[in-house]
Structures are given as structure tokens and as C-alpha cells.
Structure 1
């Protein structure tokens, strides 16, 4: 257990929260629940809870989740008003989790839950961040494997702070890390980058990414490109420097032109640089506008609180029967200050 957790005077049975974002996963959820509970129940000396976030599903995902919560007091549910995206689902789970450590894992079972005991063991050894590094990616096309390989290495070169290679969101965070990440005000999220930015000591364990046992991937090329774009914007100042680099290239070509006897078409280079600069600036302006207009990252339509004694002991709320609430997502710090 980390020094931060030990200093807080935790008892002999820490609570491990498992956060699982779900979007149209009705086919795989029963298997996900069974494997997670089997793994977590075998963890010696630990209590656990499952924080399942329905990210605006349009199938029977919410009904399946309600059935699980009705039978298991360790299940805590959150339902978004619409689909806000995978990263928002993880953030909501982190904010709802009551555990002394929190594991983030997708519902599709491609990241094996059986690796969680290794994550917990490293946490007990004192590591506040433990990531699962994918050594192989089974059942994925060569284009998916190749793009993932290139993405992590390009990000590693351009990122202001190192981001662990070949790691997704499957990782364990100590309570002190969760408390920090959950309060960051950014709306456009790339949690891996924000965790790396925080600078806590991090280690990895190896795992093999498996094929989906049921259902189909919801992360198409558009979502992948969107995540890669947000990763670059969140973790690197390279896009802001790009106009300067482009201008330097154009200036170099202009100076070298008379020497080499080659000239670009009149105005082509200048127009290209102008468009590039405008595009980069527009991207930054929109992200700043999106942040300052103050909308929450997500809206909660309904939640079903977990009823376990371990959760009640940490939240101060009594263990209670299943209930629901409808509420907006958390306000950003500026809104909270205004409300107070």
C-alpha cells in the first residue's frame, strides 16, 4: 500500500473500486460481471465494489445493470443522460468510487480482469499508479495494431511528460491520485495524459489484450482519431509550435529558391502557411471556448447507490436499499464557487 494510503490510517481491509464504463454492452455485461466478481472475491484481505457507468446506451445495458445491482449490494450504478464518451465515463466512475484504490477497466473483456491481483499487489508495494502494458493484441487487424504502435511512440516523442507506452486506461490508481484527477477542470479529457502529468510514481505489469467474447467494438476510426487528437492537444505543446516550424520551412525554401533555381508557385507557400496557422489557432480557440463556457463534462440522469457496508464506511452514508436520483454532472470549480 502506498505511503499516502498508509498515512491515512486505513484498516486491514482496504476497499478496491472497479470502474467500468459501458456503452451498448448488454451482450457481454453478464460475463464481465461474473469474471470481475470472481477475481475480486479471491483478493485476500480486500473488500471491493463495482462502479458501472452507463454512457447513454440505447440497448438493454441499463436494464442489465439494474438487475445486477438488485442482487449485489457491491454494485454502484451511474447513468448518463446521453452518450458523453468513454473518457467521461471513466471520470464519472472515478468521482463516484469510494475505494482506497480504483481500477479502471473496459466492459468488453479485452483487458483481462485476472490481471487485477497483480495491479493490487504492486499497489500494496507502494506504487500509486500501476498500468497494464499490452504485450500482444490478439484478434485485432494489422491496421489497428500498427496504428496503436505508431500512436504511442509518436505521443512518447511529442508529450511534455512521459506517457507509458502500449498502455490503455486499464490501470490502478491510489486514492490520492484519484482525488487529484477527479478535480481537474478540463472538459476535453485524455485521462492517461492527465495521470502522467500529475507526476506520481508509476509502474507497469504485462498483459495480453484478448479478442471480444461478445458484442462489437464501439471505438471506430472516428473515435480513435478523436482520442489521438485530444491526446496530442492535452499532452503536448507541439501543435502550438507547428506554425512557427512551418513558417521556418517556408522561409528556408524562399531563401534557397534563388540558389537552387527552383521556385514554388507564386503565393502557394504563403497560403499554405496561413491556412495551417489558422487551423491550429482555431483548434486552440475552440478548446478554450469549450472550457470557459462552463458546461459540465457529463450529465447524470440516474444513479443507484451501492449498498455495501464497506462503501458506507467510507462515504459516511448508511447502507441502504436501492434507490435512484436524477442530477446534473459535477460543476466545475468556478461554478461551485459562484454557487456558494
Structure 2
């Protein structure tokens, strides 16, 4: 067990206020463990001093490594990039704000040694989050489970441990807008959960406002479900049915004018058409992203890996091809 390497991937975006506390907490944690650890911070185009703080810590500790994006590519791609650089026998993905407590990792490792290839954290409680965010998150997971072709566990995020083999299979997926927790469910393997209490952020503000939450939800549903497209076909029946009933109502009564009924039906039909076009557009957008075949992300610099000994930084083939 002392020879086992555990990689921890931490996406970072404007975490200046709390990143030093995260580094100190994780370094204190790994000093007490019997396994070897590497901490891989992936900077997702931060505009504050997050990178400077990580670099200072990196210069003093060989456990720390840094991957820098050329710009902001998003949380899910930051996770994906971090996985590419791991060497561990097992890989843990966690947020860089200490909402995912390191104390849960030994429980995950214990399950891993029992034979599970994927161990995800299941949140019993979420501190420091608004009622609205808790409600929308709860509704998303349950809606996703109804629509998707995979049985993604409820109330889980990206905080999880993955065996090396599971990571290798996950990296074979090349979606431009990945929904990582859905992909992890899709690849299969023997999976289980550990319960934990998600803590309040130690500093700073959430990097997942409503707009990003909506995008994540759309990416997740359009990645793993065709049911919205089936709903579009059903919508096409509604205008015809409405027209028939409106005509029958017009003939049966004289209380309403033809114009008022016609306008009502027209507005209802236009609303359905706009919704249908929006659903189709979401799927076509994903197809366009795949067809364009652009790199999913661009790494501008890495530190703490093999390049530390060589004194150089360069683009690797895997960075160019992803």
C-alpha cells in the first residue's frame, strides 16, 4: 500500500481567496497517509492570483503539479485535462474550495481496495447553498434519471475516486462538452458510494452561477437522452388537435369571436414551435461541435511534471490531439 500512488485532480477558477487553505489542508492530509500522493491543480483561465499561489507552493513541494489552460474552457474540461496528467493507481476528483472534505478520501480508498473501481461521494447535506440551488439540483438529478439512458446516482457531484482502468476508459471518450459524472456512470465497472457532508465554501463565491448550471444540465441531458427529440414529435400533434377543438368550439358557441380563438391558438402554436426548435438546436449544436473537430482544450503550460527536471515546458501530443 505504501507503493500505491493516489492522484488528486483539482479544477481551479479564480480561487485566490481560499486556494492557500486548500493547499495547506491537502498537504497536511497526505503527510498523515501511508500512500503516495500527487496533487494536480488545473487552472481554468483564472484572472486572479490563484496560479501565483499554486506556483509558490509547487516550488516548495514535489507533491504539487500544475496544468494551465490558455483560457477558460470550463469545469468539466478542466477535470478531463487533469485526468490526462495523472499517474496514480487511483484518481480522486474534488473541488478546490474544500467543500469536498479530504477526510472522505480514506473511505473511498477502503472501498476501492474492496474491489470497487469507482467510488462516488453521495451528499447527505449541503451547507452554504441557497434553497433555490438545492431545489434545482434535486430536480435536475431526478429529471435526468427519468430522461437518460443511464442510471446516474442521485445527489452526487464530481467528487469521486476512480481506478486507473476506469480512468483509461473514460479518457477514450472525446465529447466536446463532456458531462463527466454521466460519462463515469456510462463506462460501467463496479461502482459504489460513500456518504458525506458537503461543507460550506471556506472563501470566495461559487463558480457555478445559474447560467452555468443550466448549461451543465443541457449538456448532460443532450449527451445521454433522445427523449426531448421524441417530445418534439409529440408537440407537432398539439397544434392540429387545438385547431380541431377550437373550430368545434367556434361552431358550438357564439360567446367568443373567431379572432380571439385564432390568436390564442396561434400564440400557443408559436410557443410550441419555438420550444421544439430550441430542443433541436441543442442537439444540432453538439453535432456541430463534434464536426468542427477543434481541440477540446489548450494547455499553455505545465509545471511539476517531467518538465521540472528538464527545465522546459512544451505541448505534448495528447494536449494537441484532445
TM-score (structure 1 length as normaliser): 0.85
- 2:291 and 2:88 map into 1 onto residues whose CA distance is 31
SS of alignment partner, residue 72 of structure 2: coil
- 1:59 and 1:326 map into 2 onto residues whose CA distance is 24
2:192 aligned to which of 203, 227, 236: 203
1:217 aligned to which of 206, 209, 212: 206
Contact 1:305/1:322 (<8 A) preserved: no
Is the alpha carbon distance of 1:271 and 1:217 closer, same or farther for their aligned partners in structure 2, counting shifts above 3 Å? closer
CA offsets 1:192-244 (integer angstroms, 9 cap, x no match)? 11111112221110111111111221211111111111111112112221211
Gaps of 5+ in 2: 254-260
Is 1:241–2:264 an aligned residue pair? no
For this pair of structures, how many residues does the alignment match?
A: 311
For 1:327, the equivalent position in structure 2 comes to 315
For 2:136, the equivalent position in structure 1 comes to 147
Is the alpha carbon distance of 1:331 and 1:253 closer, same or farther for their aligned partners in structure 2, counting shifts above 3 Å? farther
- 2:195 and 2:39 map into 1 onto residues whose CA distance is 23
SS of alignment partner, residue 152 of structure 2: coil
- 1:254 and 1:244 map into 2 onto residues whose CA distance is 17
- 1:251 and 1:124 map into 2 onto residues whose CA distance is 59
For 1:287, the equivalent position in structure 2 comes to 286
SS of alignment partner, residue 214 of structure 1: coil
SS of alignment partner, residue 219 of structure 1: coil
1:66-215 matched pairs, under 5 angstroms: 66-215=55-204
For 1:313, the equivalent position in structure 2 comes to none
Following superposition, the deviation at residue 75 of structure 1 comes to 1.4
- 2:46 and 2:183 map into 1 onto residues whose CA distance is 26
- 1:273 and 1:88 map into 2 onto residues whose CA distance is 33
For 1:310, the equivalent position in structure 2 comes to none
For 1:305, the equivalent position in structure 2 comes to 304
CA RMSD of aligned residues (A): 2.2
Question: In terms of mean alpha carbon deviation, does 277-286 or 48-57 score higher?
Answer: 277-286
- Misfit runs of 4+, over 3 Å: 248-274, 319-324
- 1:326 and 1:82 map into 2 onto residues whose CA distance is 17
Is 1:43–2:33 an aligned residue pair? yes
Contact 1:49/1:76 (<8 A) preserved: yes
Question: In terms of mean alpha carbon deviation, does 282-291 or 202-211 score higher?
Answer: 282-291
- 2:240 and 2:320 map into 1 onto residues whose CA distance is 47
Following superposition, the deviation at residue 180 of structure 1 comes to 1.2
1:18-57 matched pairs, under 5 angstroms: 18-44=8-34, 46-57=35-46
- 2:240 and 2:229 map into 1 onto residues whose CA distance is 18
- 1:12 and 1:42 map into 2 onto residues whose CA distance is 12
For 2:257, the equivalent position in structure 1 comes to none
- 1:60 and 1:302 map into 2 onto residues whose CA distance is 16
SS of alignment partner, residue 215 of structure 1: coil
Is 1:15–2:14 an aligned residue pair? no
Following superposition, the deviation at residue 12 of structure 1 comes to 6.0
SS of alignment partner, residue 309 of structure 2: coil
- 1:322 and 1:108 map into 2 onto residues whose CA distance is 32
